[in-house]
Amino acid sequence: MPSLGADMEQGTLVEWLKQPGDIIHRGDVLAVVETQKGAIEIEVFNDGVLRDCRASPGDRVPVGEVIAILDGDDVSGMSIDKPSVSAVPSQAPVPDKPLSPGPRVTPAARRLAQQIGLDVRNIAPDGSGVVGLRQVQASSTETSPPKVQPAGIDFKAMRAAIAAAMARSNREIPHYYVSSDIDVTVFMDWLAQENARRSVADRLLYAVPLFRILAGTLVDTPELNGHYDQGTFSPAQTVNAGIAIAMRGGGLVAPSIQDVAGKSVDELRISLTDLVGRVRSGRLRSSELSNATVTFSNLGERTADTLMPIIYPPQVAIIGCGQIVRRPWVKDGEVHVRQIMSVTVAGDHRVSDGRSAARFLSRFEKRLTKPEDL
Amino acid sequence: MSKTRTLTYRDAIREALREAMQRDDRVFLMGEDVGRYGGAYACSKGLLEEFGEARIRDAPLSESGFTGAGIGAALGGMRPIVEIMTVNFSLLALDQIVNTAATLRHMSGGQFSVPIVIRMATGAGRQLAAQHSHSLECWFAHVPGLRVVAPATVADARGMLWTALQDPDPVIIFEHATLYNEEGEIAAEGEFSCDLDKAAISRSGRDVSLITYSGSLSKTLDAAQRLAEDGIDCEVIDLRSLRPLDDATIMKSVNKTTRAVIVDEGWRSGSLAGEISARIVEQAFYSLDAPIERVCSEEVPIPYPSHLEKAATPQVESIVAAVRKTLRT
């Protein structure tokens, strides 16, 4: 039973999605586990064959307990009960025909499809028989019904989980706060122009480029991105941003999007839409709940000006963005009406100092004036 | 506002040569016809009168001999600029350049360096036929120990020479023969030296990355302009440095646009375009949304007749066609 968050102690097995004898590949979803944060899909990190399912649906299993046995890495050399696999003799000559008559998929399209959980075989190719980014994006906007009915979320349990994590954060992490009011007029004007040339389905909420720029800036401030565990800080190689998402019934989760700085704006848009949809339907993946390296909390429109967020351990920083408001603002010696956003960085003083956050904010502000670089 | 002025690529090189001679008395120019004749492409016209025979030295028709002499002078503390009339002739000096200039720092355990600058014309487009028109930049870019640069703009022609002279190791400067009459704007005065490590984004765009250098830059920019009229937004990268290659700039662009077209006047087989293509596949494979396209020269000795010369080398039309292919439109 994997730990799906610093505060998780046990999970309830809901169902197995693979059966003993199945060949498993890294990234496959093995089972669904109910936690305080909803039903989570458990992914596998190795290739192999599923041998033995030790837990049954309905079992409450403590974190760390064995729930299944996976055999080895070398799938090809295994004797497996399934005739479709074992029937292939080991010395069979390699056919010199092309591997698959299916559509050709570009690497970028394959990556995007994998990230948003689409099977490229189900995506219609373009006129030249190629599945490219455009085809995946088009396909992702068509709604596909979830395979399994979303499990309900226990909001009371979720509140308890938030309480435990936040109490631990306030108890253990010496927070410091640094914030700036930032003129985002240039950024918002760019976004309006950008959206004007996009189709309605492809339009960007401002959070998308905002998160992308936050992540891009974090790459240059590694002391705000990583995990602090047992007295040691390990900076992360990529910016896996936990995105604070409010649940409709109350409560909050912050599942992560991998390598936000390495994504294009459109890849991020698709990931975010997908994530929000799955949060609302209560279907998150295990890796999304445990590997965030920093958290972004964006209050959004018509909310409040400033927030002072609490770090989600073992992360070492959280960045909070208030609503964007029009304010009188001095620019070039004159008062103008500009769009202003208050941005607050909460940092872990065991790892970094206010100076890091200040440097981060000034770089972030500078990047916001050049959104066309995205 | 800083003032600018317009001058030709040729004048920019002459100005850079004159400045180098004035700033550092260890600098001298040596090559075939650089003195009395003023240089095969008239880059050194007037310099003999100004600096005298000791510093503007006409060399005999022996590339190996005068390149070797330049290497010796560099070892002895001078800062020679050796001009080789065209890259085709540099083959006679390859032994000196590859076996001596590029290796001495290594073989002496760092005791000796060879601060020589070798300038040479390259490329087709002037109907000079198969022995004066080739683009062999990639042969030099293959060799560790050399730095290879290709100024494609007047500003780079003006700035790269001085920076190259500051390098303690050999630098090869390739000047495309069609560029000498090109005009461009540069600052009226000031310091012209420039970064030799970084590629330049000559035009920024979102849809396709066009990667090129030297004489192909202006054709590539023209192609980008023509595609822009159809709503295709090309990013154009001028490599500037052929060794080392600025991988970071290339990958940043390809990660953004997801498509790459490399325009290289060298022959396709074993070309720089092939090297760049391999690096993109190694470093940005998962960003690619289309196969990489290369626009290179046909695999023939560059022909003499104008229409065949054009047909054998990258042109605006072939670049446009390659871009469209990556877009599958």
**Nearest-5° Cα angle at B106, B151 to B69:** 65
Specify the fold of A1-97. Answer: OB fold (Dihydrolipoamide Acetyltransferase, E2P) (2.40.50)
**HSE-up of residue A75 (Cα within 13 Å, Cβ side):** 14
* Tokens representing residue A58 in the block: 């309905």
Instruction: Enumerate residue ranges in chain A where pLDDT < 70.
Output: 6, 73-102, 142-154, 248-249
In a domain, B194, yes or no: no
In a domain, B193, yes or no: no
Position B137 scores a pLDDT of 98
Residues B154, B208 within the same domain: no
Position A23 scores a pLDDT of 85
Report the pLDDT averaged over residues B284-292: 95
Tell whether A127 lies on the interface with B, counting CB pairs under 8 A: yes
- Biggest alpha carbon distance in chain A? 80
**Rounded to a whole number, what is the distance in Å from the CA of A296 to chain B's nearest CA?**
23
Which residue does chain A place closest to B231, by CA atoms?
A: A197
Specify the fold of A165-373. Answer: Chloramphenicol Acetyltransferase (3.30.559)
Residues B177, B277 within the same domain: no
Residues B158, B20 within the same domain: yes
In a domain, B239, yes or no: yes
Contact state of B288 with A133 under an 8 Å Cβ cutoff: no
Residue range(s) defining the domain that contains residue B162: 4-187
**Rounded to a whole number, what is the distance in Å from the CA of B327 to chain A's nearest CA?**
10
The catalytic residue among B63, B83, B235, B275 is B63
Which residues of chain A form CATH 3.30.559.10? 165-373
Position A167 scores a pLDDT of 86
Position A104 scores a pLDDT of 86
Which segment of A85-94, B89-98, B157-166 scores lowest on mean pLDDT?
Answer: A85-94
* ipTM of this complex: 0.75
Residues B51, B114 within the same domain: yes
pLDDT tens-digit profile of A181-234?
A: 999 999 999 999 999 998 888 889 999 999 999 999 999 999 999 999 888 899
The C-alpha atoms of residue B133 and residue B266 are separated, in whole angstroms, by: 10
Task: Mark which residues 183-222 of B lie under 8 Å from A by CB.
Answer: 204
Residues B149, B288 within the same domain: no
CATH of the domain at B210: 3.40.50.920
Position A211 scores a pLDDT of 93
Report the pLDDT averaged over residues B83-101: 97
Identify which has the larger pLDDT, B313 or A33: B313
**How many distinct structural domains can be found in chain B?**
2
Structural Rg of chain A based on CA atoms: 23
Contact state of A108 with B287 under an 8 Å Cβ cutoff: yes
The C-alpha atoms of residue A153 and residue A124 are separated, in whole angstroms, by: 35
Position A96 scores a pLDDT of 54
Position A153 scores a pLDDT of 61
Position A275 scores a pLDDT of 87
Q: Which residue has the tokens 């002739």?
A: B89
Class of domain A99-145: few secondary structures
Residues B154, B9 within the same domain: yes
CATH of the domain at B47: 3.40.50.970
Position A157 scores a pLDDT of 73
Domain termination residue (choose one: B128, B162, B187): B187
Contact state of B287 with A126 under an 8 Å Cβ cutoff: no
Nearest to A260 by CA among A226, A292, A222: A292
DSSP, collapsed to helix, strand or coil, labels residue B187 as: strand
Nearest to A228 by CA among A139, A127, A317: A317
**Beta-carbon contacts of residue A15 (< 8 Å; ≥ 6 apart):** A31, A32, A57, A148
CA A230, distance to chain mean position in Å, is: 25
Tell whether B289 lies on the interface with A, counting CB pairs under 8 A: yes
Residues B176, B227 within the same domain: no
Contact state of B290 with A106 under an 8 Å Cβ cutoff: yes
Residues B223, B294 within the same domain: yes
Contact B271, B264 (CB under 8 A): yes
Which residues of chain A form CATH 2.40.50.100? 1-97
* Tokens representing residue A336 in the block: 């103008």
Q: How would you write B201-268 as a 3-class SS string?
A: EEECCCCEEEEECCCHHHHHHHHHHHHHCCCCCEEEEECCEEECCCHHHHHHHHHHHCCEEEEEEEEC
Contact A19, A67 (CB under 8 A): no
CA A212, distance to chain mean position in Å, is: 13
Residues B129, B209 within the same domain: no
Which segment of A147-161, B72-86, B138-152 scores lowest on mean pLDDT?
Answer: A147-161
Contact state of A264 with B256 under an 8 Å Cβ cutoff: yes
Helix axes A107-115, A133-141, angle to 10 degrees: 20
The catalytic residue among B32, B83, B132, B235 is B132
Chain B residues whose CB is inside 8 A of the A128 CB are: 328
Position A152 scores a pLDDT of 54
Domain termination residue (choose one: B187, B210, B226): B187
Tell whether A111 lies on the interface with B, counting CB pairs under 8 A: yes
The C-alpha atoms of residue A359 and residue A54 are separated, in whole angstroms, by: 51
Which residues of chain A form CATH 4.10.320.10? 99-145
